[in-house]
Amino acid sequence: MTTRRSNPARLAYTLTEVVIVLVLLGIAAVLLIPHLTDRGDTEIQAAARQLVADISWAQCDAVQSQEYRRLHFYDDGRGWCMINVTDATFSDTFDALTADFSEDPWRTRRGGGDFIVDFVADERFQDVQITDVTTAEGGRDLTFDRLGGTVSAPGLGAGAASVQLSDGTDTWQIDVAPVTGRVVVARVP
């Protein structure tokens, strides 16, 4: 019967093995670090997700509250806000001083209560801008009625709407279907 003895000299790594591991880690770092530090693509995708979520929230809040909810896209492209609209104020043009902002249920936006998304004030979206807003009515508003459908006036369905977000490199387009408010997101080539 033979017994196997372990070699006491083989309890450590050789210099060659350590060098190979370090070279592999160095190559991995060279390949991965540029991708981990480039947030541009992440920022634009996060902004697009935020807009889709806010469109869905406006629709749901309109149904739940049985009131109009409007997303207004700022003229300078820095973001959007959600405001409460009534039959009496439906045709009023947007004025930030007199607008009845919807309450932000998560209290994460400016003021801890007003539903405002401002790319300039939010470090997550520094390079993102709204480059185009197209509605059938020609404005910069997307309004949902008590049934969650898009409307252009009380009782009158709205046409399609489209919003483009860009970070200077990538552009994403969010399309909102007429009446139903169905949302479709696509990267613009």
One DSSP character per residue, 85-140 reads: E-TTTTTPPP-TTT--BPB-TT--SGGGTB-EEETTT-GGGTT-EEEEEEETTSSS
- What's this model's pTM, rounded to 2 decimal places? 0.76
* Three-state SS at 45: helix
Closest by Cα among 97, 175, 91, 93 to 133: 175
Q: What whole-number distance in Å separates Cα of residue 154 and Cα of residue 106?
A: 29
Asked whether 127 and 40 are in contact (CB, 8 A), the reply is yes
Residue bearing tokens 């009782």 = 155
Mean pLDDT of successive 10-residue stretches along the chain, which has 189 residues: 60 78 73 57 89 93 94 94 94 92 72 81 88 91 93 90 94 92 91
Confidence (pLDDT) at 4: 61
Confidence (pLDDT) at 38: 52
